[in-house]
Structure 1
Amino acid sequence: MEPSTRDSACFEAGIKFGALYHQFAGTPVNPDSAPSLETAIEESIENQPFCESVEVGILTDKLAEAIDHGYTELTGKFMEVEIVIDHEGCEVVTRMEMEDGYPLMKIESVQED
């Protein structure tokens, strides 16, 4: 059985999240550098095929609590992310948020034309 357009769109969303998380996890960050890092992440991932939009929110209040030497490393606990994919008319909205101490990436909605 061939994958459906829906299957392919969801797969593309997973690829984007894998790239985002594993490319940027461990990046040194502090509240002052967070806005430029948010922009860098968004613009990097938006370059990928089928990516309609990326919104990254780095939680600067949580960053500030974790800093002991001027910066900390970026992890999922400091980010909220939404990625929207449009693959052949199928829109997939995905989100990453902390759930039970884990940065859970999940599909919020799928809409086909």
Structure 2
Amino acid sequence: MSTDETPTDAEAACFEAGIKFGTLYHQFAGTPISPDSASSLATAMEEAIENQPHCTDVTVDVRIDELEAALAASTADYTELTGRFLEVEIVVDYEGCEVRTRMEMEDGYPLMRIESIHGR
């Protein structure tokens, strides 16, 4: 896109998805989490991000196996939320253009990416 062009709907939808992931990750990183609180925290994350414009669906899955492994190496009953404990899907619809995005661990890093773009 050159500096004098208006972004396409697909570009705007991808931008919106990036905003949602930035908000989700940086708003909740560091939140205390335990196996007992994982479900309610995942629901709170989903509902908070779904409030944002153009967001049609958010699914947050806490990787309980990773969470329990981290806690097994600790004397605490909880740990801090990081991307390694999450798998997330966010769907954005901007002017009829649907973007599906995903965050999951890849090579030890919580990678966020565009899965698909449909529509204009």
Aligned residue identity for 2:104: E
2: CA distance, partners of 1:106 / 1:77:
15
Alignment of 1:26-65 (within 5 A): 26-65=30-69
Match of 1:71 in 2: 78
Query: Do structure 1's residue 105 and structure 2's residue 109 form an aligned pair?
Result: no
Distance 1:64 1:32 in 2: 11
* Paired AA for residue 112 in structure 1: G
CA distance in 1, matches of 2:66, 2:113: 22
- Aligned counterpart, 1:18: 22
Which amino acid is the alignment partner of residue 88 of structure 2?
Answer: V
- Aligned partner of 1:73: which letter? E
**Unaligned stretches of 5+ in structure 2?**
none
The Cα of 1:87 is off from its aligned counterpart by 0.4
Residues 50-92 of structure 1: per-residue CA shift (max 9 Å, x gap):
0000000001111011012110111110000000000000000
Deviating beyond 2 angstroms after TM superposition, the runs of 4 or more aligned structure 1 residues are none
**1:85 aligns to what?**
92
Q: Which moved more, 1:58-67 or 1:42-51?
A: 58-67
TM-score (norm 2): 0.92
Unpaired runs of 5+ residues, structure 1, are none
The alignment's TM-score, normalised by the length of structure 1, stands at 0.98
Paired residues in the alignment total 113
> Which structure has the larger Rg over C-alpha atoms?
2
Whole-angstrom CA distance in 1 between matches of 2:109 and 2:99? 22
What is the percentage of aligned positions where both structures have the same residue? 65
